[in-house]
Structure 1
Amino acid sequence: MSESSEQSEATAAELVVTEPQPDDSGANTHDRYDWQAAMAAADGLQLYLDALGPNKRLSDDEDRRILCEYHEDWVAMRGGAAELVSAKHRDASMDAYRTVNQLADEGGLAHLFLRWRALKEKPTCRLATSGGLLSGDPQDLEAVTKSLREMRLSDKQITVNGEHATLVAKLRTAIHTHGEKHLPPEWKNGDVKEISAEAQKEEVARFLSMLDIRHGLTRRADIGFLAPSKFAKPVVDYLGYDVPCESVWNAVYGIFHTRMRAAGPRVNAVISPVLAFVNGGGPPTPADKERELSGRIVTMQDIDLVVMTAVANPVAYESLGSPVRLSRAAIKMKRGQCSDNSIERGEQLRKDYQRYWRDRLTGDPTALADRERLRRLLLRVSDKVDTPSLRAQAIWGFEFWRLLQDELDSIPAERIPAGMDPDLLLGGISELANACQVWFSDRFDVAEEFDRLREENRGSAA
């Protein structure tokens, strides 16, 4: 049997683990990893909930699993089926995707298309993003995906009609622009007989029929207090355990955070393969290849184990305040020479502030608008206190912290959300500092300082 015929018979999941990826995920910031790990954990919890039978247990042959940081940010698999997921976080300041070109580049659709094509068009695909879609081409493209998906699921031939042709053509052009480095040879010249421009558009249309765009997802700043109730609580409720959903979330998130970072060298990479090429052994099977990627895979059995561990000992998985020197807010306050007592107070108040909004956002439809209104007020207070005369001092962070408290104490009660007091407002300032919207010194590279302090902590522990 030829290699091409073998590949055509392979399932999507087999192709995902046997087809080498052309590039690794590259450098990622701590924040990007944290958000992607949280979104992958949310997928894992949903798959786990789906896998639990009426007896609230996994079946012996349960094979749902998630492959992290390979081909795309993660791949959800069940049996031979696979879904490639490209996860793109967008801060509120970046607003919604405004063009098809932006979706192809910043939304990763060009890379996602090329990975789908390299995997013989077999996986389904998903763009998971915190960004929204502006009216016009972005929302129209989403509508095209739904229309073409209906054709595919109805076993109809995928056709590019007049309604879809313009957007398909725009996405094809954007793929040429933003996927140029990894374009297949037959795509590099639209006049090549083997695959014409029209044939390329047909490929794009088939891709769109396999694509699901999920936008407006939880942003990074909200994950900490929304994720436990949004993603873990349904599992805890279904299982019927009286434990904090926060503990279950932390346990599941922890395993995804670890596996998302497992793209580096394997621990046993220096060990020589044993009996790998004996007569009659044959080439590695897809199962062999998947075992080689086990460090990047989270199975439902893995999730079941950590869930039950968290249920048995929830206190061990309760959220702890980050070591004062290793949170972004604390690093900023430390650079501004705030006292250790002020930093510790700021960290505790930030945690109280998060808890306040976590409780309100769970069931209060007015909470989101109230939180945004308060955010604007706190930024206004910060801007008012941050004066040229204050910054004329060589070190001004400790004075800034004191002036902020005085200003927050003077805000009338009717201007702040019910149940809040000046201390919680100060926790809100600390939360804004953690999101890099408030500073206690001139700006600096927080990630670099984070790494330096982490290494300093390791040296102290040793």
Structure 2
Amino acid sequence: MQASDSGASAAELVMTVMPTDDAGARTAAKYEWQALMAAADGLRMYLDALDTDGNLVQTEVCRVLCERHEDWVALRNGDAELVSAKDFGLSFGAYTTLNSLADDGGVAHLFNRWLAMQEKASCRLVTTVGLEGPPQKLVALAEALRDRRLAGRELVSDEEHDGLLNDFGKALLKYCGGLPDRWKPPEGAPLEVIPTAEHRRQMARFLSVFSFQSRVPEDYVGHAAPSMYVQPVLDRLRSPVAAGSVWEAVASLFRARMRAAGPISTGGLPKVLAFPLGASTPTPVELEGSLASRIVTLQDIDLAIRTAIAYPAGFAQLPRLVRTSRLAVKMETGGCSDNAVERAEQLRTDYQDLWRQRLAADPVARIHQSRLHRMLLKISDTATFRVRRQTTRWGADLWRQLETELEQHEGALPDDMDIDLALGGLCELSNRCQVWFSDSFDVDQELARRRGSVGGEDS
């Protein structure tokens, strides 16, 4: 069950084999999370290359190649690990089917790229999504097969796993481009015989080099990354500089490479006489040079880190605005965006202005306001039931759902009130601790903490 051998290493194949698609570098600006997770990999490789005194020891050639074949490729000497990164936000709980793992999780694309690398590269899925059901069993099988491979034992699966591998093979056939042509049934045999025993052996080889890794969701990574990914490096370097500045320097490096925006020695000069008569096929080293704008070397990371240590103010992140209203605290805790919080505060102010005028002029206005508040609380209860989850933040989903529910009840609103003002009413109720964007918590304690840092007051 050994992979085919063309004499080229996995790292050389990464450089010489052309991807079937190469849109990643053009669209990676949308995927901040991917760049940050690639930066985490780069920091780990850098940490492993430091000696106990914090000196960069160049005994191995390590680098990260961004947006080629997969989201990035970790390279060490002749070895290569293809990494696919998938962040679906906090609303996507888990991969529950093999079809979802193959398609949404990108495992089918990984399998296709692994085949193009002549089965020589290892593969990893980095994701914010969990596993349930068959995907969880498949990853457990991958771990067992990896243990067998590392122990030098034959990669065989128990008969009880044949059904799981057959289902995985059918998912690959759906979502792995070109696989149906490679996996043709034996001559004269019906299509139903796929996957065959040989296909199952090939899938077992893939699973033995495949690993599943859960990473910090996008909503939290900005806060967690400095302590999780940078502080171990600074401890090795014995540097007292704040980890946030170093993280921003390294993250900026990977953001640029993800867009193929790194520096190259020839700058923007055109190619001249690049392929004259008698020229030979470019070597892997020459091809790697042409991909320099996408590559992050350990020397690049070392320079970024030591520059940030020397000039930390130049990489310091801008301080976040500290809001001190109950509404803002609740929405931020629930995961709502800054823009949503700003809009909510404005709508709440408009709602207060409306009722301030009505209550001053109409003796029965308070009765109408109470009736409206009861309706808004019912809408809030319904919307919360639709979006509330136990394991992830759901405030942003609730914000959108509240507007949807209000649109469905627009006819029941007072004549002088539109959906925006009604949403402002929900914001006012939230400020009164009657509507929540997360599970309830001690708002006053959080307000006291924020006021202590900025001297602000609740509005």
Whether these two folds match at TM > 0.5 is yes
| Residue 421 of structure 1 pairs with residue 434 of structure 2 | no
Give the alignment of 1:45-444 within 5 angstroms.
45-134=43-132, 136-179=133-176, 181-183=177-179, 185-187=181-183, 189-192=184-187, 197-215=196-214, 217-262=215-260, 271-274=270-273, 276-277=275-276, 282-320=280-318, 329-332=337-340, 338=346, 389=413, 392-393=417-418, 396=421, 399=424, 403=428, 406-407=431-432, 415-416=441-442, 419-421=445-447
* Equivalent pair of 1:381/1:404 in contact (CA under 8 Å): no
* Equivalent pair of 1:33/1:260 in contact (CA under 8 Å): no
* Equivalent pair of 1:186/1:192 in contact (CA under 8 Å): no
1:306–1:403 CA distance, 2 compared to 1 (3 A) = same
What secondary structure, in the 3-state scheme, does the structure 2 residue paired with 1:52 have?
coil
Cα distance, 1:186 vs. partner? 2.6
Cα distance, 1:191 vs. partner? 2.8
CA separation in 1, counterparts of 2:29 and 2:196?
Answer: 40
* Equivalent pair of 2:24/2:67 in contact (CA under 8 Å): no
Tell me the TM-score normalised to structure 2 length. 0.71
What secondary structure, in the 3-state scheme, does the structure 2 residue paired with 1:282 have?
coil
* Equivalent pair of 1:67/1:296 in contact (CA under 8 Å): yes
* Equivalent pair of 1:262/1:295 in contact (CA under 8 Å): yes
* Equivalent pair of 2:70/2:83 in contact (CA under 8 Å): yes
Letter in 2 for 1:222: Y
1:43–1:131 CA distance, 2 compared to 1 (3 A) = same
Tell me the TM-score normalised to structure 1 length. 0.71
Letter in 1 for 2:149: R
* Equivalent pair of 1:382/1:404 in contact (CA under 8 Å): no
CA separation in 2, counterparts of 1:86 and 1:158?
Answer: 24
Identity %: 37
CA separation in 1, counterparts of 2:400 and 2:117?
Answer: 51
* Equivalent pair of 2:124/2:211 in contact (CA under 8 Å): yes
1:116–1:193 CA distance, 2 compared to 1 (3 A) = farther
1:31–1:396 CA distance, 2 compared to 1 (3 A) = farther
Cα distance, 1:282 vs. partner? 3.2
1:162–1:417 CA distance, 2 compared to 1 (3 A) = farther
CA separation in 1, counterparts of 2:287 and 2:58?
Answer: 22
1:431 is matched with: none
Q: Which structure's CA Rg is the greater one?
A: 2
Cα distance, 1:178 vs. partner? 1.1
Structure 1 segments (4+ residues) deviating >3 Å:
25-32, 192-196, 263-270, 273-279, 328-339, 372-402, 408-411, 422-425
Residue segments in structure 1 that go unaligned for 5+ positions in a row: 343-371, 428-462
* Equivalent pair of 1:243/1:311 in contact (CA under 8 Å): yes
What secondary structure, in the 3-state scheme, does the structure 1 residue paired with 2:88 have?
coil
What secondary structure, in the 3-state scheme, does the structure 1 residue paired with 2:91 have?
helix
Cα distance, 1:62 vs. partner? 4.1
1:353 is matched with: none
* Equivalent pair of 1:11/1:80 in contact (CA under 8 Å): yes
CA separation in 2, counterparts of 1:111 and 1:373?
Answer: 29
User: What RMSD in Å do the two structures reach over aligned CA positions?
Assistant: 4.2
> How many aligned positions are there?
382
Structure 1, residues 254-290: CA drift from partner, whole Å, max 9, x if none?
11111111189999566123465475x5321100011
Residue segments in structure 2 that go unaligned for 5+ positions in a row: 322-335, 351-389, 454-459
